[in-house]
Amino acid sequence: MISKGHSKLSLQRQCKLLQIHRSGLYYKPRGESKLNLELMRLMDEHYTDHPFKGAKRMHTWLSMDKGYKVNKKRIERLYSKVMGLQAIMPGKHTSRRHKKHKVYPYLLRNLKVERPNQVWATDITYIPMRKGFMYLIAVIDLHSRYVLNWSVSNSMDAHWCKETVEEAIRLHGKPEIFNTDQGSQFTSEIFTGSIRSRDIKLSMDGKGRAIDNVFIERLWRSVKYENIYLNPPESGVGLYRQLRDYFDFYNHRRRHQGIENEIPINRYLQQERNAA
C-alpha cells in the first residue's frame, strides 16, 4: 500500500492520503507458524489476566489445561523472545535486560503523582492479528492516564522507542520523571541518552516487576479487551486505524475509574485551564 520509491508522492504525502502515521506503519505484520500464532494468542490473553505466570507455568497451562503437546523450549522462545513477556515477580529467565546496559533506580515508590507532566511511562506490548502479529508502544501521563503518543512496529527496536518518545515530547513538552521497565530497548544508550539529554529523571521498574508500571499495564488490558480481541486486525494499516480510533475514544470520551471517572484529556488539560 505504501511505496518507498514512488516517483511523485513522498512517504509523508502517501501516509497523509491514507490517513496513517509514518512511524512504523508500512511494516508488514511478522509471521510465525499457524500453531505458534495460536499459542501466542492464547498466551497473550491468559497473561493479561495472569501476569504472574512465567514461561514455565505458561507451558504447564497450555499442556495440561489446554491439551497442547508442545515442548517447553518452544514456549520459552515465544513467551520471552518473541512476545517480550515477563512474570511480575522476580524469577529465572523472566527479564530481558541487557547485562551490559546501565539500570536506573525506581523513583516512583511512595511518590504522590499530583499534576500532568510530572511522570510519564512507556511500555511495549504484543498485538495479535489474524495473520501474524505486531508490537505497540505507548507513552502515558500517569496523573491523567492520557495517552501522549503511540506507534506500531514489527520489531522491538530501540530507535523506534526513542522516536516515539521524542515525538511525545515535541507534542506535549517534557515530564519531570520518565518511567520504563528494564527491557533492553529502554536500557540502551540510544534510549537513555535521549531522555537524559533533556534533563529528565529516568526511573526503571524493579527486575521482573511489571506491577511497578501498573498504570500502563491497565492500558494494555483496556486496549486488548475493548478492541483487539473483539476484532483482530487484518493488516498493519488496519491495525493503525483501529488503534487510532480506540485511543481517540480512550483519551477523549472514556471515563476512567482510577481518576474518579474523569476523562483523560480533561484531567490532562486541567492545570492549563486553572492557570488561565
All residues at 6 or more sequence positions from 154 whose CB lies less than 8 Å from its CB, including other chains = 24, 27, 28, 29, 30, 134, 135, 236
Top mean pLDDT of 100-104, 198-202, 207-211, 232-236 is at 198-202
Q: How many domains does the chain have?
A: 2
Q: Which residues pair with 149 in a beta bridge?
A: 139
The answer as to whether 163 is a domain residue is yes
Q: Rounded to two decimals, what is the model's pTM?
A: 0.83
Q: Specify whether 73 is located in the same domain as 157.
A: no
How do beta strands 119-129 and 132-141 pair?
antiparallel
Which three cell numbers, joined as nine digits, stand for 257? Answer: 475509574
The answer as to whether 192 is a domain residue is yes
CA angle 220, 221, 223 (to 5 degrees): 60
| Mean model confidence pLDDT for the chain | 85
pLDDT, tens digit, for every residue of 123-153?
999 999 988 999 999 999 999 999 999 999 9
pLDDT, tens digit, for every residue of 45-66?
999 888 889 999 999 999 999 9
Q: Is the pLDDT of residue 204 over 50?
A: yes
Nearest C-alpha neighbor of 144 from the set 109, 168, 120: 120
Domain at 236, CATH number: 3.30.420.10
Share of the chain above pLDDT 90, in %: 63
pLDDT confidence bin for 90, thresholds 50/70/90: very low
pLDDT at 9: 59
Q: Specify whether 268 is located in the same domain as 135.
A: yes
Element (H, E) at 135: strand 132-141
Q: Specify whether 131 is located in the same domain as 54.
A: no
3-state secondary structure labels for all residues of 172-236 = HCCCCEEEECCCHHHHCHHHHHHHHCCCCEEEECCCCCHHHHHHHHHHHHHHHHHHHCCCCCCCH
Q: Specify whether 74 is located in the same domain as 139.
A: no
Greatest CA separation found in the chain?
A: 63
The domain of 216 spans: 119-275
pLDDT, tens digit, for every residue of 149-180?
999 998 888 999 999 999 999 999 999 999 99
All residues at 6 or more sequence positions from 193 whose CB lies less than 8 Å from its CB, including other chains = none
Q: Is the pLDDT of residue 3 over 50?
A: no
